[in-house]
Amino acid sequence: MENGISELKKKLCYTSVHIAAEMPEDIRDAEEFCEDYKEFLDLSKTERETVATAEQIAQEAGFVPFDRFGKYKAGQKVYFVNREKSLILVTFGKKPLAEGVRFVVAHGDCPRLDLKASPVYEKDGTAFLKTHYYGGIRKYQWTTVPLSLHGVVILKNGKKVSVCIGEKDTDPRFVISDLLPHLSMEQNERKLSEGVKGEELNIVFGNIPFGDEDTKDPVKLCVLNILYDRYGITEKDLLTAELEAVPAVKACDIGLDRSMIGGYGQDDRSCVFASVSAQVMLKKPEHTAVTVIADKEEIGSCGNTGMESLFLYDFMQDLCETQNAKVRDVYRNSICLSADVGGAFDPTFRSAFEENNSAFLGHGPVIQKYTGARGKSGASDASAETFAGIVSVLEENGVIWQTGELGKVDGGGGGTVAKYMANMDVDTIDIGVPVLSMHAPFEVTSKLDVYHTHKAVKAFLES
């Protein structure tokens, strides 16, 4: 009788499982896969660097720039770069485009601190940089963390200078200060959300004066002089520049069992890496496979490199013209994975989650029917048919998956690029790696989850 009950329970009940319990043979493969992933994270600290690294991986796999007047056969691989900030990779499939494509869209931008247009100032003998945060951050987390500066500056003569200071072992780093506990009694009374305010995210930039006693702001002059010496940059050139401060930390293993990865920018570069590495492995897929690395997701997918822009639509038009296909037929018959991370259940803060509907570290990529806030506001809300269709492809290919909401109902919320793809008349669903401490300077993921997200994307692109 007892045996019968446990069999009945097994047949009728569902709980998600840890990949290591179900497929221990994947532990080794996940570790190997994540060695490349850590390297990818270290090379890709900004949206531009992410696109450049992915472009290089694609070129090494035989991808060539797309020619809109070209004719392509199954198995041929092309790419398109949009303003150095978004990227489209295509492997042509055996079926005509009109039968639909398999889209995977991840985003290459991450929360960070951008420099303001006029960033350099001196106060009481120290030089600082003013910042304006990009994306959703908990501001107090960004103090007393070593930072590096990345970006591009266009000089008066039109020359474009790439800046990257703070990533090499011998480089200096930058940092935002915070009060010592001995003197923080007043600050301690602030609400956590205002513990450190936006205008307090000032980066320490220099401390040696340059000039004589009549020189105003001699420390500022000293750092400007170094910038000019090394890069030919003047203070005026900074007005038009794009400089981003990001954590100057390398990705590393986390846990005595080395089961996890710690690093900056895993939302959403874990999905970017899982998707790009899957795309470059394709031979001759059934449907044409299209991987997109989008920009500006963290600030609402706006701008001409974000998913609200027409760049993907126009690219698809050009792609369709190579086969005299109608773009609306292609979109209508396509399926899209919006590859973006989910929040992992955190036992230390369990009251923020609803544990029956949470994603757990190690239980595989989290597939989300809907994201959004409050009453699913801002979600694309995939259909049961789309969800079940994806699940069957994944399970046929040995992928362990789970579902889960970001947190409790009305606890907050967030969106992804899913709705922009759905707006194009494409069946779209969210899938991604569960992340601990999402949007913090140092985020944590499970190696098995990153690897199974890659396996999921590959199985989908081959379907």
Task: Kindly list the residues in this chain that would bind Mn ion in the complex (CB under 5 A).
Answer: 267-268, 340
Place of tokens 């290089």: 56
Residue with Cβ nearer Mn ion (49 or 267): 267
Residue with Cβ nearer Mn ion (166 or 414): 414
Q: Smallest gap, in angstroms, from Cβ of residue 277 to Mn ion? A: 18
Residue with Cβ nearer Mn ion (55 or 268): 268
Kindly state the tokens that stand for 380. Answer: 């694309």
Residue with Cβ nearer Mn ion (29 or 114): 114
3-state secondary structure of 232: coil
CA 458-441-183 angle, to 5 degrees, is 165
Q: Smallest gap, in angstroms, from Cβ of residue 73 to Mn ion? A: 35
Q: Confirm if 297 and 107 have CB atoms less than 8 A apart.
A: yes
Residue with Cβ nearer Mn ion (27 or 352): 352
| Cα–chain center distance at 296 | 10
d(CA 96, CA 78): 16
Cross-strand bridge partners of residue 103? 290, 336
Residue with Cβ nearer Mn ion (49 or 340): 340
d(CA 315, CA 298): 23
Residue with Cβ nearer Mn ion (280 or 406): 406
CA 102-103-105 angle, to 5 degrees, is 160
Question: What are residue 62's phi and psi, to 5 degrees?
Answer: 100, 10
Q: Are strands 413-414 and 372-373 parallel, antiparallel or unpaired?
A: antiparallel
Q: Smallest gap, in angstroms, from Cβ of residue 202 to Mn ion? A: 24
Q: Smallest gap, in angstroms, from Cβ of residue 139 to Mn ion? A: 16
Burial class (CB in 10 A: 0-12, 13-18, 19+), 268: buried
- Name the packing angle between helices 447-461 and 26-43 (round to 10°): 90
Residue with Cβ nearer Mn ion (237 or 268): 268
Residue with Cβ nearer Mn ion (118 or 377): 377
Residue with Cβ nearer Mn ion (267 or 295): 267
Q: Smallest gap, in angstroms, from Cβ of residue 262 to Mn ion? A: 17
Q: Smallest gap, in angstroms, from Cβ of residue 365 to Mn ion? A: 13
d(CA 370, CA 446): 23
Q: Confirm if 378 and 372 have CB atoms less than 8 A apart.
A: yes
Rg of the chain over all Cα atoms, to the nearest angstrom = 24
Q: Smallest gap, in angstroms, from Cβ of residue 406 to Mn ion? A: 10
Residue with Cβ nearer Mn ion (91 or 305): 305
Q: Smallest gap, in angstroms, from Cβ of residue 300 to Mn ion? A: 11
Q: Smallest gap, in angstroms, from Cβ of residue 299 to Mn ion? A: 10
Lay out the sheet containing 86-91: strands in order across.
Answer: 64-65, 77-82, 86-91, 288-294, 101-107, 335-339, 427-432, 366-368, 402-403
3-state secondary structure of 435: strand
Other beta carbons within 10 angstroms of residue 413's beta carbon come to: 17
d(CA 242, CA 362): 37
Selection from 367, 336, 354 nearest residue 408 by Cα: 354
Q: Smallest gap, in angstroms, from Cβ of residue 125 to Mn ion? A: 38
Q: Smallest gap, in angstroms, from Cβ of residue 257 to Mn ion? A: 27
